[in-house]
Amino acid sequence: MNDRLTGITTFVRVVEAGNFSLAAERLHLTRSAVGKSIARLELRLGVLLFHRNARGLSLTHEGQAYYDRCLRALSELDAADAELDSGRREPQGTLRVSAPKLLGRHCITPVLMALVGRYPNLQVDIAFNDRVADLAEEGFDLAIRIGPLNDSTNIIARRLGGQHLALCAAPAYLAAHGNPQSVAALDGHSGIAYHRFGEDVGWRQLQADAAASKLNIDIRLRLDDLHSLADAAVAGAGLVWLPNWLLARYLRCGELVPVLGDIHLLPSDIHAVWPQTRYLPAKTRAAIDTLLDRMPAMLLGINDGA
């Protein structure tokens, strides 16, 4: 029975991946093992499940019908597992989480480390990546997203808080160039831009909000990494926008100081998202509850784990 289920799972993963090689990588098997599993399944069923040609794989008519039924069967098995798991007092098993690199390192990892310490039968596997992971295809139980949710039809989401940005600079920079006391006084100052997807994040929004002031920031350095932005600001390269959860530790030690504390950008929402399911596993529920409890303060730079 176990071999039978293994063959079905392998078949479904091959269909989702579109080829044996990618399915093997996701299943942590060799391509040969995946190919033999599909061959055994076809032999047992007495039908061809795939058309194989130079362009790749495609399902036969019988293969498509079998795939649809396999999906329903696996979904019922997952629901049964989750229903039993939701009744357990303590989370257990492996929780796979996808999180943005820096936010994950500074805010998500400390929370989930505490969760592992609390539950001895729970393991957490965190993948740091700034791209949007496909939860179902890549096997993640939970993901943390910054900004708008573009695939909300297949996921459930809970807002954890907002990512607030603050304007700051090094004391040495302000001593040399002056500490601006108004938006208009920012004109002529040097700025460090967080440059993603072809635009300077932060300064563009500030310029739109303060167009009447004719803001004229001299952007001479553009970086796509927040830690590098902070390092450049500490070195005196200019004014920079940083999220409060990253900025707090620099403020505490005096390496950076706030500029125009009453000037803010609209916060970006941060969500925990997970695949739609009838029963939420205890491990996922525990992670969400703990994140909801601790993340709002961490996002504001309070109790940031430093």
Q: What is the CA radius of gyration of the chain?
A: 25
Res. 7 pLDDT band, cuts 50 70 90: confident
* Token duo for residue 24: 């093997």
- For the cut 50, the answer to whether the pLDDT of residue 157 exceeds it is yes
Res. 1 pLDDT band, cuts 50 70 90: very low
User: In the prediction, which pLDDT does 187 show?
Assistant: 83
Residues 6+ apart with CB under 8 A from 176: 236
CATH number given to 8-81: 1.10.10.10
* Mean pLDDT across 61-84: 79
User: Spelled out in words, what is the top-level CATH class assigned to the domain 164-266?
Assistant: alpha beta
* Token duo for residue 107: 């805010």
Query: What's the pTM?
Result: 0.66
Tens of pLDDT along 88-111? 568 888 999 999 999 999 999 999
CATH superfamily of the domain spanning 83-162+268-300: Periplasmic binding protein-like II (3.40.190.10)
Residues 6+ apart with CB under 8 A from 279: 79, 82, 83, 85, 86
Comma-separated ranges of CATH 3.40.190.10 domains in the chain = 83-162+268-300, 164-266
Position with higher pLDDT, 83 vs 115: 115
Comma-separated ranges of CATH 1.10.10.10 domains in the chain = 8-81
- For the cut 90, the answer to whether the pLDDT of residue 231 exceeds it is yes
Three-class SS state of 91? coil
* Token duo for residue 211: 């167009």
